[in-house]
């Protein structure tokens, strides 16, 4: 029987510093497995053990009998990691914003979305049934202008942004947004921190911790200088598991579970996902040196690219993009790197990218200094930098 060729690349190994794609081994500088835990032997063992003991999944919602021990373990470990009273774990990080925003629906009057925010934020905003406007990417002054122009007095704004933008790696200017929102009573600032959780902050709690803003007021009832802060994320990126996560106070999460119907209307996460995620969080807590090594790798790669003359800003995000000439040149660089044994994807179209797209670099904690140096040497040899 003839096998049909796949129209897309097929990964034949776990994501990590090295993986196999379409039968060839590559040094992998792509994806989102920033701590390198998705292929960890303990994580894989935990996933297998959970399936053997609990079946594929509980086959019911969590208001029924869907709360198996590994699902509850994820929430317990996530609450410990984030230092919160509770956490809500569910099957998809993409749905996290939909869930949080349903819990905020009765507390806001209009929504303002960064115009380069991830698709899921825009979708979640439209489901609220409130007026939705956009503001210029990472421009607090434009947000302030739009609020003054388009929000009637005494109405409560909800501002939506990525914490770390998924391709560019830029951080939202959260302190500036707080200053802009302070005069608006009842204002809420919400972050999708999919690329910040387990990467940024002293404890790995993400963008808000990076800015010194993590505390009981996050996903709770208290405000930060008059502005409520909410956040959600995923376990499928740096954490190395799979599914969405919302840490917070018990009262906040009780309201969110009830408002979104994701708790009573959707099946619980699969046993394998929950078992893997619980173990990944445990490993992450046991080994904070993974985050320290990740940050060292981020600094090495960013500074090495700057030494090649590329416009790469300093910063803590493990993902970032670089524009090198036009689309044709970046495709050429991508293909040349691939031929040399490196995967650095060229992203032609994505939220927040310009008309020529960009090369998206990602680094993980398990990359060695030698691996990063070899990538930089390959880029130097390929050349073609304007």
Model pLDDT, residue 1: 41
Could you give the dihedral angle defined by the CA atoms of residues 305, 308, 313 and 317, in that order, rounded to the nearest 10 degrees? 0
Model pLDDT, residue 3: 57
Bridging pattern class, strands 18-21 and 319-322: unpaired
Whether domain 18-30+288-382 has CATH 3.90.1150.10: the reply is yes
Model pLDDT, residue 59: 85
Which SS3 state, helix, strand or coil, does residue 169 take? coil
Q: Which of 167, 199, 171 is nearest to 359 (CA)?
A: 167
DSSP code for 2: P
Model pLDDT, residue 5: 66
Q: From CA 24, how far away is CA 6, in angstroms rounded?
A: 15
Could you give the dihedral angle defined by the CA atoms of residues 93, 98, 99 and 104, in that order, rounded to the nearest 10 degrees? 140
Radius of gyration of the chain (CA): 21
Tokens at 37, concatenated: 């835990």
Domain residue extents for the chain: 18-30+288-382, 45-286
Asked if 326 contacts 355 with a C-beta cutoff of 8 angstroms, the reply is no
Rounded to an integer, what is the distance from CA 329 to the centroid of its chain? Answer: 28
Q: Which residues of the chain have pLDDT under 50?
A: 1-2
CATH topology for the 45-286 domain: 3.40.640
Bridging pattern class, strands 228-234 and 244-248: antiparallel
**In the chain, alpha helices (H):** 41-54, 69-82, 96-104, 119-127, 140-150, 174-181, 207-210, 250-260, 262-265, 271-286, 289-307, 327-339, 369-382
Model pLDDT, residue 4: 59
**From the CB of residue 110, how many other CB atoms can be counted at a distance below 10 Å?**
20
First to last CA, the chain: 49
Model pLDDT, residue 87: 98
């Amino acid at each position: 029987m003839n096998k049909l060729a796949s129209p897309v690349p097929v990964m034949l190994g776990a994501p990590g510093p090295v993986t196999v794609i379409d039968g060839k081994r590559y040094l992998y500088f792509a994806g989102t497995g920033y701590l390198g835990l998705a292929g960890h032997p303990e994580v894989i063992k935990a996933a297998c053990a959970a399936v053997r003991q609990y079946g594929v999944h509980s086959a019911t919602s969590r208001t029924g009998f869907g709360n198996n021990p590994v699902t509850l373990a994820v929430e317990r470990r996530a609450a410990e990691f984030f230092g919160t009273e509770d956490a809500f774990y569910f099957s998809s990080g993409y749905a996290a914003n939909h869930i949080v925003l349903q819990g905020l629906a009765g507390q806001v009057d209009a929504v303002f979305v960064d115009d380069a925010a991830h698709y899921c934020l825009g979708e979640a905003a439209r489901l609220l049934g409130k007026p939705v406007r956009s503001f210029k990417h990472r421009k607090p002054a434009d947000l302030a202008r739009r609020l003054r122009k388009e929000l009637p007095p005494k109405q409560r704004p909800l501002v939506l942004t990525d914490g770390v933008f998924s391709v560019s790696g830029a951080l939202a200017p959260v302190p500036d947004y707080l200053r802009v929102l302070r005069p608006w009573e009842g204002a809420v600032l919400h972050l999708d921190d999919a690329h910040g959780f387990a990467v940024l902050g002293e404890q790995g709690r993400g963008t808000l911790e990076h800015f010194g803003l993590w505390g009981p007021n996050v996903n709770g009832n208290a405000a930060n200088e008059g502005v409520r802060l909410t956040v959600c994320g995923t376990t499928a990126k740096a954490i190395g598991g799979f599914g969405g996560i919302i840490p917070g106070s018990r009262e906040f999460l009780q309201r969110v579970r009830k408002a979104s119907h994701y708790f009573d209307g959707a099946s619980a996460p699969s046993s394998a996902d929950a078992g893997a995620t619980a173990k990944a969080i445990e490993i992450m807590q046991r080994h904070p040196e993974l985050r320290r090594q990740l940050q060292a790798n981020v600094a090495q790669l960013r500074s090495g690219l700057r030494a090649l003359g590329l416009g790469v800003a300093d910063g803590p995000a493990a993902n970032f993009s670089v524009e090198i000439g036009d689309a044709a040149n970046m495709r050429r660089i991508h293909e040349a790197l691939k031929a040399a044994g490196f995967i650095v994807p060229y992203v032609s179209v994505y939220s927040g990218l310009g008309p020529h797209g960009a090369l998206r670099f990602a680094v993980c904690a398990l990359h060695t200094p030698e691996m990063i140096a070899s990538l930089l040497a390959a880029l130097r040899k390929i050349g073609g930098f304007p």
